C-alpha cells in the first residue's frame, strides 16, 4: 500500500486524475488523489480450518473484488486500470471478465514486483494456467530490473517496462536510536546489525546468527512479524542463537513495527542485513528505508534490482547469496571500512516522479 500511495500521488502530480481503489480500513489518505475503500482485504485471517477451504475462501474474496473493480470502472467510465501488483491466484476463475473489458478498449497494466512466479498454490498445471490467465488481459507490466520474459512466463502480447522505485517517507521517529538501544539494553559502543521486516527463511537469518560467533563486538537486532507458512517462527531463531552461544548479543521485537517507530530501529543500527537467498529476484522495501535513514547494508540475492542498486550506488557490501563464509567475509570488509554510499545519486535516479512519468507514457501515450 505504501508503494501504491506514493506512486498514485506522483501520477496525480503529473495531472492524471487518479482514483485509488483500496480495501476498507486502509489507514491513510494522500493528497492529489481520490481514494475509495470498496474492496475486501485479501490478506485478512480466514475462518476455515482446513487449508483447502481457506484457499476457496481466499479465491472467493478475490473474485468478489474483481467484480467490485469492474463495477467501479463501468460507473466512472475509466479507460486505464493499473494493478498495484501482479496476481495470478485463482486467475482462471476471474480473468474472463477483465478480458472482456480489455476487448472493449480498457487498458490494463500491473506492477510486477516479483517477476519469477515460483510459488505455486496447487498443482503445477493449475499454477501455469493461473499465471497465463493473470497476464491474459494485461497490456503493460512494470518491473524494477530487466527480466527474462521466458523465465518469468510473460507472454509476447504484454510489454515490459523498467521503472525505478522511489523512496518512502517516514514520520519523525518516536524515539532516537540511542533511546531504542537503551530500551533493548544494547551498549552504545557496540556495532549493531539490523534485520528488519518479515521474519522468513529467505533472509538467511540463520547464517547471520551463526556469523556472530566470529565477531564478539557485533550485536544483532531482529524486528518484524513472522511470515508464517513454511517459514521458521522467531522462536527457532532464538533457539539457534542460544545454540551458537550468541543469544546475549541478540535482541528481538516480534511484531509489526508502526511507521513512527521504523526510524528508531534504523537510527540505532550500524548496518542493515539484507542477506536474501538466491531465490529473491525483486526490489527491497527495506533497502529503500535504509537509504532514507542513511544506513548501509550487507546484501545478497539472485539477479535483482536489489543487487543492481547496491553495487551501482555503493550502498553497502554485496556478497554471494546462501553462503555463510561470504556473510562472514562481508562483515569483515564492512568492519575494515567501505566507500561512502552515493545517497544523492541513488535518490536522483530512483524517484517517484521518474516512476510516474514512465508509467504515464506507457499507459496513456503508447
Answer yes or no: is 171 within a domain.
no
C-alpha cell of residue 239: 533457539
| Interatomic CA distance for residues 69 and 85, integer angstroms | 15
Quote the pLDDT of residue 51: 77
Pair 186, 49 in one domain: no
pLDDT value for 159 = 96
Query: Does 253 share its domain with 360?
Result: no
283 falls within a domain: yes
pLDDT value, residue 26: 57
How many domains would you assign to the chain? 2
Range of the domain at 224: 177-348
Distance between start and end Cα atoms, the chain? 27
Judgement on whether residues 344 and 195 belong to the same structural domain of the protein: yes
Q: Which residues of the chain have pLDDT under 50?
A: none
CATH number at residue 269: 3.40.50.2000
Q: Domain check: are 54 and 159 in the same one?
A: yes
| 122 assigned to some structural domain | yes
Q: Are residues 185 and 122 in the same domain?
A: no
Whether 32 and 141 map to the same domain: the answer is: yes
Cell of 175: 524515539
Q: What's residue 341's pLDDT? A: 96
Q: Strand 316-318 vs strand 80-83: parallel, antiparallel, or unpaired?
A: unpaired
d(CA 347, CA 327): 27
Q: How many CB atoms lie within 10 A of CB 53?
A: 12
Residues 344 and 356 in one domain: no
Residue 359 and residue 332 share a domain: no
- Three-state secondary structure string covering the chain: CHHHHHHHHHHHHCCCCCEEEEECCCCCCCCCCEEEEEECCCCCCCCCCCHHHHHHHHHHHHHHHHHHHHHHHHHHCCCEEEECCCCCCCHHHHHHHHHHHHHCCCEEEEECCCCCCCCCCCCHHHHHHHHHHHHHCCCEEEECCCCCHHHHCCCCCCEEEECCCCCCCCCCCCCCHHHHHHHCCCCCCCEEEEEECCECHHHCHHHHHHHHHHCCCEEEEEEECECCCCCCCHHHHHHHHHHCCCHHHEEEEECCCCHHHHHHHHHHCCEEEEECCCCCCCCCHHHHHHHHCCCCEEEECCCCHHHHHHHHCCCEEECCCCCHHHHHHHHHHHHHCCCCCCHHHHHHHCCHHHHHHHHHHHHHCC
pTM across the whole model:
0.83
Distance CA 282, CA 300 (A): 11
Place of cell 528481538: 252
172 occurs within a structural domain = no
Judgement on whether residues 11 and 136 belong to the same structural domain of the protein = yes
Measured CA distances, 336 to 144, 295, 354 (Å)? 32, 16, 36
pLDDT in tens, 78-136: 999 999 999 999 999 999 999 999 999 999 999 999 888 877 778 889 999 999 999 99
**Pair (123, 247) in one structural domain:** no
Domain identity same for 301 and 339: yes
Question: Does a structural domain hold residue 68?
Answer: yes
* d(C-alpha 214, C-alpha 87), whole Å: 43
Check the CA dihedral 114-119-121-123 and report its sign. Answer: positive
Adjacency order of strands within the sheet including 140-143: 80-83, 107-111, 140-143, 159-162
Same domain, 44 and 58: yes
Q: How confident is the model at residue 122, as a pLDDT?
A: 82
Amino acid at each position: 500500500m505504501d508503494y501504491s500511495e506514493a506512486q498514485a500521488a506522483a501520477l496525480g502530480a503529473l495531472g492524471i486524475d487518479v482514483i485509488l481503489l483500496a480495501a476498507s480500513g486502509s489507514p491513510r489518505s494522500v493528497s492529489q488523489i481520490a481514494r475509495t475503500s470498496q474492496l475486501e482485504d485479501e490478506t485478512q485471517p480466514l475462518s476455515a480450518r482446513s487449508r483447502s477451504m481457506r484457499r476457496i475462501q481466499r479465491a472467493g474474496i478475490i473474485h468478489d473484488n474483481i467484480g467490485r473493480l469492474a463495477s467501479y470502472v463501468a460507473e466512472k467510465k475509466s479507460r486505464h486500470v493499473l494493478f498495484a501488483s501482479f496476481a495470478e491466484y485463482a486467475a482462471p476463475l476471474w480473468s474472463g471478465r477483465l478480458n472482456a473489458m480489455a476487448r472493449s478498449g480498457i487498458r490494463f497494466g500491473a506492477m510486477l514486483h516479483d517477476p519469477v512466479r515460483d510459488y505455486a498454490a496447487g498443482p503445477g498445471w493449475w499454477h501455469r494456467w493461473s499465471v497465463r490467465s493473470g497476464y491474459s488481459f494485461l497490456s503493460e507490466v512494470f518491473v524494477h530490473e530487466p527480466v527474462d520474459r521466458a523465465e518469468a512466463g510473460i507472454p509476447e502480447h504484454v510489454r515490459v517496462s523498467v521503472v525505478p522505485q522511489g523512496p518512502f517517507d517516514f514520520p519523525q521517529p518516536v524515539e532516537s536510536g540511542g533511546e531504542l538501544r537503551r530500551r533493548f539494553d544494547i551498549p552504545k559502543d557496540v556495532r549493531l546489525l539490523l534485520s528488519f521486516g518479515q521474519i522468513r527463511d529467505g533472509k538467511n537469518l540463520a547464517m547471520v546468527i551463526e556469523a556472530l560467533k566470529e565477531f564478539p563486538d557485533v550485536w544483532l537486532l531482529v524486528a518484524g512479524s513472522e511470515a508464517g507458512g513454511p517459514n521458521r517462527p522467531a522462536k527457532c531463531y532464538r533457539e539457534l542463537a542460544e545454540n551458537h552461544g550468541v543469544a546475549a548479543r541478540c535482541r528481538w521485537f516480534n511484531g509489526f513495527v508502526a511507521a513512527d517507530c521504523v526510524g528508531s530501529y534504523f537510527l540505532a543500527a550500524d548496518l542493515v542485513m539484507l542477506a536474501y537467498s538466491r531465490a529473491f529476484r525483486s526490489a527491497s522495501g527495506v533497502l529503500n528505508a535504509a537509504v532514507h535513514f542513511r544506513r548501509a547494508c550487507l546484501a545478497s540475492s539472485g539477479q535483482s534490482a536489489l543487487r543492481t542498486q547496491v553495487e551501482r550506488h555503493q550502498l553497502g557490501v554485496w556478497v554471494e547469496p546462501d553462503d555463510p563464509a561470504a556473510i562472514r567475509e562481508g562483515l569483515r570488509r564492512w568492519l575494515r571500512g567501505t566507500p561512502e554510499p552515493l545517497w544523492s545519486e541513488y535518490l536522483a535516479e530512483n524517484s517517484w516522479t521518474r516512476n510516474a512519468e514512465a508509467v504515464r507514457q506507457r499507459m496513456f501515450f503508447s
